[in-house]
Amino acid sequence: MSPEPTVDQLIQAAHAHAASDDPLDLLDAVLALTRDVSSRSDLAVDQIMKQARDAGYSWTVIGERLGVSRQAARQRYNDRVAHTPATLGPVRGREVQAGLAAALDAAEADQLAEAGTEHILLGLLTDGVAAATLEQLGVSREKIRDAGHRLFGRPTDPAHTGRPVFSAEARAALAAAERLAAERTPGCVPVTVTTPQLLAVVATNPGSRARRVLNDLGVDVADIKRLLHCYINVPRIPFGRRSRRGRPGKKQPGRCSFCGHPRSQERRLVAGPDVWICSECVAVCGEILARPADAET
């Protein structure tokens, strides 16, 4: 779990988000930041409370955990739980969180106020599928750092100290990765943003700083798409619906429920109850399962 932000970090974030350095603008910014943290904390409590109620726990048991009476717990949370959605939207996986922390570390090392998509690209080399993909294409942290300095320069007299924040471009990339996760995650499982999805977003945006770094390093983005295809090409629809497309009563050829490719002579499918998996996805699963259990995150 990330540590609670310090006073200095909140003030630095307020400076980054405020309209100006006027104390009143800074006051507006810091109030907005603290309200956002408080709101997200309340939403987290409400969602876990809903999970507890859905699991069959009584208000008496929940009240005991809260240190209040059954009546007090019910009065405080009953209406809130009733209006709490099943999920709060896409969740960033642990490998994504580690990559984003590494991106901020890289920007902080250069004494920058903001971390851009080039820093996200560097952070994605921390762990996971995105790291393996970039390493396979000969991309390293040192190469990304050198290309970023060459393309975007370095501050000759850095004035910023402390933790940077993500740039507008980087925040837009994170939002796009969340949308991609929502679109490509099967409807029966929680939506989690993964490193392949985030890499696909930052690498395929022609105007992004990350794409400019990859171009400078001679990396063909088509190779990234090819290597990530099996990890992100899963439309968010209930399993089995693909087989019922077309005219009623006409049997359709099966498609892999994971990558979406149709059955062919080269791509054989293993069928389950309204689910199929192709030989290539089976091979990927075999590689994942062959890893030591303690290496999984």
Which CATH number covers residue 95? 1.10.1780.10
Flag whether 194 is in a domain: yes
| pLDDT for 251 | 44
**Co-location of 96 and 143 in the same domain:** yes
Indicate whether 96 belongs to any domain: yes
Query: What's the pLDDT score for residue 288?
Result: 72
Of 212, 232, 252, the one marking the end of a domain is 232
What pLDDT was estimated at residue 264?
75
Helix, strand, coil abundance in the chain, percent, nearest 5: 60, 5, 35
> What pLDDT shows up at residue 40?
58
Give the side-chain half-sphere CA count within 13 A for 205. 19
The whole-number pLDDT of residue 4 equals 59
Structural domain boundaries, residue 145: 91-232
Q: Are residues 150 and 251 in the same domain?
A: no
The predicted pLDDT at position 159 comes to: 60
Q: Please give the pLDDT value at position 123.
A: 95
Looking at the fold, whether 58 and 115 belong to one and the same domain comes out as: no
Say whether both 135 and 200 belong to one domain: yes
If asked whether residues 193 and 246 sit together in one domain, one would say no
Do the strands 192-193 and 165-166 form a parallel or antiparallel pair, or are they unpaired? unpaired
Structural domain count, the chain: 3
100 and 193 housed in the same domain: yes
Last residue in a domain, options 57, 82, 107 = 82
In a domain, 24, yes or no: yes
Same domain, 12 and 77: yes
Asked whether residue 176 is domain-assigned, the answer is: yes
For residue 22, what are the CA distances in angstroms to 19, 25, 35? 8, 5, 20
Residue 1 lies inside a defined structural domain of this protein:
no
- What is the reported pLDDT for 247? 41
Q: Please, what is the Cα angle at 112 between 35 and 199, to 5 degrees? A: 80
Report if residue 61 sits inside a domain. yes
Identify whether residues 22 and 44 lie together within a single domain: yes
**Rounded Cα distance, 106 and 114, in Å:** 10
Position 1 scores a pLDDT of: 46
In this prediction, the residues of the chain whose per-residue pLDDT falls under 70 are 1-5, 16-19, 33, 35-41, 43, 84-89, 156-161, 185-190, 233-254, 260, 272-274, 293-297
Together in a domain, 189 and 67: no
Classify residue 122: in a domain, yes or no.
Answer: yes
Residue 153 lies in a domain: yes
pLDDT of 240: 36
Type of residue found at 133: T
55, 150: one domain: no
Same structural domain, 198 and 95: yes
Looking at the fold, whether 256 and 162 belong to one and the same domain comes out as no
Dump pLDDT digits (tens) for 6-16.
Answer: 777 777 777 76
Check residue 122 and give its pLDDT.
Answer: 95
Domain boundary among 36, 64, 82: 82
